[in-house]
Amino acid sequence: MSNKILIIVVISLFLLLHQIQIIKQFFFNDKGVSLGLHRGDHHVNLDGSCSSRCMNLDYDGDMDDILRDKRQFFITMPAKAAGTTLKQFTTKCMKHKVPDNFINYPASTKKFLTHSFRLPSIVASHLLEDKTMIDLVKHGNRQTLIIHIHREETDRLLSSIKHVATSELCEPSYPRVKFKNVNIKKFHINRNKTHCTFDEEPFVDLVESGFQEIGFGSSKILTCNAFKAIEQNTPNMVLVHYKQANKLQKLLTKHHCPELLDEDWYPTVAHMASEKRRDGNVYLRLKNGHIVQLDKWLHEKRDVIEYTLKMKHNVSCQGKMRYMEDDLFACKDEAMQITPKNVKCW
């Protein structure tokens, strides 16, 4: 009887080991590295090593602790991701105005060192390319914190297209020198104080060219080279969704300008006056002569604009960005710490 039990135990152990080996081969490569799973839209590994550290944006939360610990802060963002809001806030909080987006230009960055004796501890800037992000990641020290504001690219692109149409193309006061390479007459613009209509085809060409805010997107900032720099340099870095800008401002105010907490202006949400004035009153004139509201045109075309105009021909590591977004959107406050381990997993 005891021999039979022993045989059953041995067979059971053999079958268990066999099953473990099958599972290991299914989930791990030949080097023993976890291949990772997708649970819904969230990228994780079996051992949990790729789970991102979500940040709490409430008082006395994780982000509050980090802001208390660091001394120099760079808030960066693509176009149309709460940048104007955060730059206005930073100027008011620091009581110090710096050249707009100066960190994108090496000569201006050097001049910043002697801009004044006491330099602002918070600098907010749009990023125009990945090189600026790489410079921050590579040359920041242990007391530097990079807070990058993110917005999903298609959503950001649509917002930038609307902005260019409403606040630039339709705005008489917008500096025409910025359209020096654009034949404005081709648009056949018809406008008054509240309404504006122009031709569809030249506008599509303008979008395709990446004019102004349209071309300054996340895909030009978070490239393979930028992700590689993060892996190699281990910066102090936090990613925050643009809709959480007000929460971020409250925390920054607490540590850097607490006297502003009770002021009526706070928190600020910046909007262009021309966008408010013409909201819903911008129209495109189609080839067949029909007039279509810009908002309806964008809604109809939104899922094919990037493909038909090849808006991502210089994009790299788009997959990493999508995994990153999955992790970001899974966080309650849509904020998370970025580490080399996360980047490698993405």
Answer yes or no: is pLDDT of 24 > 60: no
- Look at residue 13 in the predicted model and tell me its pLDDT: 65
Where does residue 32 fall: left (phi above 0), alpha (psi -120 to 50 degrees), or beta otherwise? left
Confidence of residue 167 (pLDDT cuts 50, 70, 90): confident
- Predicted TM-score (pTM) of the model is 0.81
State how far the Cα of 104 lies from the Cα of 129, in Å rounded to an integer: 8
- Look at residue 177 in the predicted model and tell me its pLDDT: 58
Bridge partners, 122 (sequence order): 73
Bridge partners, 336 (sequence order): 54, 239
Length of the chain: 346
Give the pLDDT confidence of 49-99 residue by residue, as tens digits.
567 789 999 998 889 999 999 999 999 999 999 999 999 999 999 998 899
- Look at residue 26 in the predicted model and tell me its pLDDT: 42
Kindly report which listed range (207-211, 238-242, 262-266, 281-285) carries the lowest average pLDDT score.
262-266
98 half-sphere exposure, CB direction, 13 A CA radius = 27
Answer yes or no: is pLDDT of 40 > 80: no
- Look at residue 225 in the predicted model and tell me its pLDDT: 95
- Look at residue 34 in the predicted model and tell me its pLDDT: 37
Give the pLDDT confidence of 176-230 residue by residue, as tens digits.
656 777 888 899 999 888 889 999 999 999 999 998 899 899 889 999 999 999 9
Give the pLDDT confidence of 104-142 residue by residue, as tens digits.
999 999 999 898 888 999 999 999 999 999 999 999 999
Answer yes or no: is pLDDT of 154 > 70: yes
Please say whether the beta carbons of 241 and 335 come within 8 A. Answer: yes
Kindly report which listed range (187-196, 266-275, 321-330) carries the lowest average pLDDT score.
266-275
Strands 122-126 and 72-77 turn out to be: parallel
Answer yes or no: is pLDDT of 342 > 50: yes
- Look at residue 279 in the predicted model and tell me its pLDDT: 65
Strands 282-285 and 196-199 turn out to be: parallel
Alpha-carbon distances of 124 from 45, 91, 275, rounded to whole Å: 35, 9, 23
What rounded mean pLDDT belongs to the chain? 84
How far out from the chain centre does Cα 225 lie? 16
- Look at residue 183 in the predicted model and tell me its pLDDT: 83
90 vs 30: which has the higher pLDDT = 90
State how far the Cα of 332 lies from the Cα of 283, in Å rounded to an integer: 38
- Give me the domains of the chain, ranges plus CATH numbers: 53-345 (3.40.50)
